[in-house]
Amino acid sequence: MSMELSLAEKQYLTEVLEELKQYRISSKERKNIKQQLLEHIQESRDNGIDSINDLGDTTTFIKDFLEIKGIDLHSEIKQMRKSRSGISFVIGFCTFIIAYLACQLILSMFLTDSFNPQKTIPTFDYNIVYQVSDVAWWNLFLILISISTSSLISILAIKIFGGNR
């Protein structure tokens, strides 16, 4: 069935299909719905009825469709949030580790003598994770700066990449 859709009809059809895709409705089912909507639009035109007003708004259409199919809307939303929270945790954790190591490396390169070839201390054992300086209070201060910076960067990464889209 090839027919010209108005801008409002195209927008309505696109919104419905995108919303159904978010609720993980199969592509086969979405094609059936698209076909049914196109048939309804054609019948409405034949009878002189405004198809968009007849169908109602997209949220009501989606809600009715999900109820007919026996899909609980609230459990779907909770499931979508759970999957996003897992992704957010992974993004935050990986970002924190990378940012912490980068901060420690940068701070130890510029604010300590750890990489100075002229100053070697035989008892000092450099470790990028927890010992970047031979002075205990300075080492603790640099670690706190790295943890704070990494936490802020992780929170920003979660908000940007793992947040509600």
Q: pLDDT, tens digit, for every residue of 55-104? A: 888 888 888 777 777 766 566 566 666 666 678 888 899 999 999 999 99
The closest of 86, 85, 65 to 23, measured between CA atoms, is 65
Beta strands in 5-157 (DSSP E): none
Reported pTM? 0.51
Where is average pLDDT lowest: 28-42, 76-90, 133-147? 76-90
